[in-house]
Amino acid sequence: MTFKTGDSLPDTKFSTPTEDGPKPINGIEVFSGKTVVLFAVPGAFTPTCSARHLPGYKDQVAAFKAKGVDTVVCTSVNDAFVMKAWAKDQGIGDEILMLGDGNGDFAKALGLTMDGSQFGMGIRSQRYALMAKDGVVEKLFVEAPGEFKVSAAEYVLENI
């Protein structure tokens, strides 16, 4: 892992689902001037991501806002179409900003990729969460391979 607390988040491009199709959005638009909690998952519709990770953040959005978080972001190495379908499946409205990192540029820039080729998934994002203020990471929670503990919404809430 190359990324650490105190580092500035990269200004990579994401895509976000809209009613009119995918909309490109720069990291600077997402992170500048705000307190953001971002969590990353290896893949939309995957078991842990769908059963626990995204629902945990959905359930805790108000608690994050009460702690001064402006935006809760979910990202995955998926395209905006997949992120939109996953959000719809999970009942996510606009309370969580769903960002597709289709080419994995953000995950690569952070040094937080994993190789899911043995599962037919290619290069994906590791499971992690972070809190950033004005684009600078103040807290970083990176999971050990195969685990789901420190990036869970409840854990992050207790530790920010």
Q: Which residues are catalytic?
A: 49
The CA distance from 4 to 9, in Å, is 10
Asked if 107 and 77 touch (Cβ cutoff 8 Å), the reply is yes
CA distances (Å), origin 156, targets 9, 33, 39, 116: 18, 21, 10, 25
Tell me how far apart the alpha carbons of residues 54 and 19 are, in angstroms, rounded to a whole number.
21
